[in-house]
Amino acid sequence: MAFDKIQFLKEVTNQNPHLGRLLDSIIQNMDGMANHLGVSQAGRVAPPPLLQGINVAFNNGTVHVVLTHNVPIKKNLHYFVEADTSAAFAQPHVFDLGASRTLFTALPNKDGSGNQLNWHFRGYSQYLGSNPSKPLNFGTKFNPTAVQVGGSAQFTPLASTGSGTAAANGQQGGQGLGVVLTRPPSGPKRSLPPSAAR
């Protein structure tokens, strides 16, 4: 049988009016705080609605990404843009935009050996207490459009280490803040210098 919060409060209030009012106030305050944070006391909230669009403009190595999201949302929503030289987003670089739906950044046009880099972009959103929405590619659903950003910048980007509680090797894109509450440590353990171990 499901717990009936309203009936429970009525029973408590009938037996002890002061305790009933106190419990009602606590419950309302907890519900209000959860709504403002984008979390739920009873588990995860539903992921946000999908983005409607992602547009990318670029010139001389500067990239401007704009996300379109004209659906009802709550104020605690975070937006993310991922950029990768792989169309499969195998190890994307994650940009946490917070509440903004716009990103300005600089990316290299060529790697350290002078080879042309083709960048791919996608965007998604996430509440603190939800899984991320499904990513929306710049281009088509299955084939993101490759972008050559132009400019003279030439270097090989370092490998991404991901974001949130996703794997620290950067190979779990599309997770934003993460889909698990706590990620266990990964990689080799660092030893402390003798002075710090005392």
Residue 1's pLDDT is what?
45
Give the pTM.
0.80
Residue 88 lies in a domain: yes
Residue 196 lies in a domain: no
Mean pLDDT of 140-150: 92
192: tokens are 């402390």
What residue numbers bound the domain in which 25 lies?
A: 5-37
Mean pLDDT of 167-189: 85
Same structural domain for residues 49 and 33?
A: no
- CATH classification of the domain holding 64: 2.60.40.10
Residue 109 and residue 151 in contact, taking contact as beta carbons nearer than 8 Å = yes
Same structural domain for residues 25 and 73?
A: no
CA distances from 78 to 61, 125, 195 (A): 26, 6, 41
* Phi then psi dihedrals of residue 119, to 5 deg: -95, 145
Residue 193's pLDDT is what?
60
Same structural domain for residues 130 and 51?
A: yes
- 115 C-beta neighbours (distance < 10 Å), count: 11
Residue 16 lies in a domain: yes
3-state class of 22 per DSSP?
A: helix
Residue 164 and residue 177 in contact, taking contact as beta carbons nearer than 8 Å = yes
Residue 93 lies in a domain: yes
Same structural domain for residues 27 and 106?
A: no
In 3D space, the residue among 107, 188, 100 whose CA is nearest the CA of residue 146 turns out to be 107
- pLDDT tens, residue by residue, 18-60: 888 888 887 777 777 666 666 666 678 889 999 999 999 999 9
- pLDDT tens, residue by residue, 69-117: 999 998 889 999 999 999 999 999 999 999 999 999 999 999 999 999 9
Q: How many domains does the chain have?
A: 2
Same structural domain for residues 106 and 159?
A: yes
Same structural domain for residues 48 and 32?
A: no
